[in-house]
Structure 1
Amino acid sequence: MLVHRPPSDSASEEKYDASKLESPDLRVEAGVVEVRDDDGGLLLPSVRPAAERSLVRKLDCRLLPAIILIFILNYIDRVAVSSARLQGLEQDLGLTDIQYETVLAVLYASYVPAQIPSNMVLNRITRPSLYIPACVCIWGMTSALTGVTKNYAGILGARIAVGLPEAAFYPGATYLLSRWYTRKELAFRAAILYGGLLVSNAFGNLIAAGILNGMEGKLGVRAWRWLFYIEGAVTVCVGLFSIWALPDYPHNTRWLSKPERRLAQVRLAEDAGEADEDSAHDTALTGLKQALRDPKVYILSVMGCAQLLGLSFVNFFPTLTATLGFSTTVSLLLAAPPWIFATIVCCVNAWHADRSGERFLHLAVPWWGVMVGYAIGLGTHSVGGRYVALFLMASGYAGFALTLVWTANAVPRPPAKRAAAMGIVNGVGNLGNLIGSYAWKAAWGPDYHPSMIIGLASFGLASGLALLLRQMLVAQNRQLDRREAAEMGAAERERIAEAARLEGVSLADALERKKGFRYLY
């Protein structure tokens, strides 16, 4: 429940100056604002800038490290099968080429449909700090149990079981970020989160190389089984730690003070001109219906599917580096530098997206880099040229990192609709990974020219859809320019009135400021 701000005397607020920072109710020490009693004290102009910096810094230091660490383990667990393949997984389980591809694909068969209901649940529950860690612990345990499988049916079942709890994390974590950061802050934070995936591809291969090289035959167990045991156990430990680290929502996070929670709500209300809260009529089901009626959601979903099909090489990256002609250990080590480079590109790209407010080019340019990489792969057999192509291909994830950010910007309110839209976009988008599991056939190696042609076509489609979405948002912004406050619906008026109450301004002022909200394209 939102905390009501008591009526204040405007004259007393005008006289509020630095001397009052030493009052019993409010003080600033070493840049950290401490407030007692008055939950609206941090909104005063004399203290708000420092208070807001302190709040964002606290979130950055606690929320971001936790979800980055989880995301690193998320992808390490997910792609462990690719690394294990290099150390005898296929031979020990008697898998054919098509069976191995199915093992990769079946995770997405459970991962994709579970994302929409998971995000709908996340929007309705009050404690995401318990929901997300519980899912992390479950997928860590099921990932570890992959190491005990004896045949094709066993590993197939384990992969299905891993996909269900994993579905809660990435769309859920991005939605949680959207409940805390403004539009101009979200892209960079989401990119830092996605940097966890890219780093996991780098260091996950290094970790896998160490385990596969040093654990073979220990206690009579194959090294690829140790890989699942060790990585799964680490994931469970991190899941337990994240119960402490993750926040809930701005109105009920326990490790923030009442004034800080109030400030967190006001920041988002000001950013969109309305409170970031569902109205009395907004439910998980109405949010889903609203998302399904919005054509932007369908465009974003197909765009996401196309780009992930183009990026599906990620599940075969160790195999692609192995085509350069080196040993297993060296191939795994060579897989790291492209992902480190991609992490840097991802963060710089998102930082500039936040600064500029532009979205289309910040998604599309990295995709075009992948297309150049594929063109190099199609045009040369040299080791150097193909390795450079791997750098360009990995950097394409800098565009995908902003997909859910653009979704949150294009479908901002109400939160129930935004949560459903993000689940739909990421869920449907990951069908590209499922299809891509069959797009890199071993029979097409070592050149994989048909796979690269599929990737080129996919990014061509994604680019066209992104351009279409941009033009739709431009048109909607023009409609907003002409829209009058009287045309607003009852639910939207309710959220704007809530924002006015939170900020202590009149409804007329809030309605006037609402005209300033525009979609980012």
Structure 2
Amino acid sequence: MAWPLGYTSPSKAETKLLIKIDWFILSYCSLMVHLDRSNMSNAYVSGMKEELHMFGTQFNKINTLFTCGYIVGMVPSKRSLPLHIFWGILTFCTSAVHNVQQIYAIRFLQGMAESSTFVGTHYILGSWYKPNELGKRSAIFTSSGLVGTLFSGVLQAAVYRNLNGKAGRSGWRWLFIIDGIITVPIALYGFFIFPDVPATTKAFYLSDEERVLSSSRLDSTDTSHGPLTWDVAKRVLSRWRWYACSLLFAISGETESFGSNNLMGQWLKAIGGYTVEQIDNYPSGVTAVGIVSTLVCAMLTDRTQERWPILVYMSFACIIAATCILVWSSPTGLKFFAYYLAGASFSGQATTFAWANQICADDHQERAIVLASMNMWNNVVNAWWPLLFYPATDAPRFHKGMITMIFTCAATLVVTYLVWYLERREWKMRGQKGSSWGR
């Protein structure tokens, strides 16, 4: 029986199990998108900059402090419900700020609140799905975030048009109020339906037989999920996986700088001639390309079980985009094309984490550490990267940022080859022709 997400189940029982876990895991993954990650960028170009008298690189500092909070918050273990409710409260608070210093404090705390979400979700996905199922599910998680970004631009434009000035509040303030209202029910939903790993899950919608099948169908004998010990640390640090996978996402994740810093929105605002609604709406094309690229690439990688071609595609797309923008005499239409093409960079995130899940599938403790480390090192780099290479003061040209993007893509290609080489060397040492886990 063919399941719509591309997996052909060997039994009705496994098909039923997949339908259940797809419904509950993916529904929460898709809803668990914090809109004001992108709303902060939309608010900045929709009146927040002027109302709070922001100048220089203060916008970049907001993102840097969020990232710093994110890194700090990755250390302790947390439950998602109180954190997501806390996130909602902080979002409401953003709508009432009087100066940028208050936003600094709020974003740092929101970074701490979100820190466990991203890695935890990828770890759960890797715990329930086989490699030929994992890419598409990781892509749905990534795409749901992009849908949130896409919706944010449309929402900000609609809010500005219909609510700007209502009850004495600016349009960008109403955006954070609406975002806060959305957050709390999603947190409650996730608390009741999101499962633990198969070996320990108590999800009410799974029977005892389905819990056993969830573990056995992955062909994994390692079900240990204990605390970090020196033995675990030595095992992880003695292998290539932690080093190579961490380096890969630390570098490749920065190709997303086009979208994560809303460079197109800043460009449109800086050159002038565009309305607030246009500045909110036009960058949505970057996100739309990201969604399509992420989903199409995921289907291809699950079919071929080769993750590296997506990183090559992403890198060349961003090199072309950066080159078109770097040549400032190029027509405006070409710059629009370049920014939209840069949306391909988002396809790398789902692919990279699916690849790491696949590489570390035989060791759950190592897999958890590697996934967390990948996210941590990417955020360590991202804490200072936009300040140095994409400061708001560089708008509209972002000259050094475009040069940096070309070198970042070249480095991504080199590290992608390194991971590909090391993975195949490991296969040869084990006497394998390829990764047979879960096939």
TM-score by length of 1: 0.76
Q: CA deviation at 1:445?
A: 2.3
Aligned residue number for residue 15 of structure 1: none
Q: CA deviation at 1:344?
A: 1.4
**2:344 matches 1:385:** no
Aligned CA-pair RMSD: 2.5
Aligned residue number for residue 59 of structure 2: 100
Aligned residue number for residue 139 of structure 2: 191
In structure 1, C-alpha distance between the alignment counterparts of 2:434 and 2:250, rounded to whole Å = 33
Distance 1:451 1:187, change over 3 A: same
- Contact 1:306/1:462 (CA < 8 Å) preserved in 2? yes
Distance 1:516 1:433, change over 3 A: closer
Matches within 5 A, 1:350-429: 350-379=298-327, 380-429=329-378
Aligned residue number for residue 93 of structure 2: 145
Q: CA deviation at 1:53?
A: 0.9
- Contact 1:67/1:193 (CA < 8 Å) preserved in 2? yes
Matches within 5 A, 1:31-180: 49-71=11-33, 74=34, 76-115=35-74, 117=75, 121=77, 131-180=79-128
Q: CA deviation at 1:518?
A: 4.8
- Contact 1:349/1:362 (CA < 8 Å) preserved in 2? yes
Kindly provide the CA deviation profile for residues 193-226 of structure 1, in whole angstroms up to 9, marking residues without a partner as x: 1011221221111011111222222111222222
**2:238 matches 1:316:** no
| Alignment match of 1:236 (pick from 184, 190, 209) | 184
Distance 1:358 1:146, change over 3 A: same
Aligned residue number for residue 421 of structure 2: 471
- Contact 1:288/1:416 (CA < 8 Å) preserved in 2? no
Matches within 5 A, 1:314-353: 314=259, 315-317=261-263, 318-322=265-269, 325-353=273-301
Letter in structure 1 aligned against 2:420? R
- Contact 2:57/2:392 (CA < 8 Å) preserved in 1? no
Aligned length: 425
Match of 1:86, SS state, is helix
- Contact 2:126/2:134 (CA < 8 Å) preserved in 1? yes
TM-score by length of 2: 0.90
- Contact 1:310/1:454 (CA < 8 Å) preserved in 2? no
In structure 1, C-alpha distance between the alignment counterparts of 2:404 and 2:246, rounded to whole Å = 18
Q: CA deviation at 1:179?
A: 1.0
Aligned residue number for residue 204 of structure 2: 254
- Contact 1:473/1:519 (CA < 8 Å) preserved in 2? no
Structure 1 residues without counterparts, runs of 5 or longer: 1-29, 33-46, 123-130, 483-514
Match of 2:129, SS state, is coil
Kindly provide the CA deviation profile for residues 51-85 of structure 1, in whole angstroms up to 9, marking residues without a partner as x: 111111111122102111113xx2x2212221111
Aligned residue number for residue 443 of structure 1: 393
**2:229 matches 1:285:** yes
Larger radius of gyration: 1
- Contact 1:369/1:393 (CA < 8 Å) preserved in 2? yes
- Contact 1:310/1:456 (CA < 8 Å) preserved in 2? no
- Contact 1:338/1:390 (CA < 8 Å) preserved in 2? yes
**2:160 matches 1:212:** yes
In structure 1, C-alpha distance between the alignment counterparts of 2:123 and 2:283, rounded to whole Å = 30
Letter in structure 2 aligned against 1:433? N
In structure 2, C-alpha distance between the alignment counterparts of 1:254 and 1:101, rounded to whole Å = 44
Match of 1:188, SS state, is helix
- Contact 1:345/1:398 (CA < 8 Å) preserved in 2? yes
In structure 2, C-alpha distance between the alignment counterparts of 1:173 and 1:310, rounded to whole Å = 22
Match of 1:87, SS state, is helix
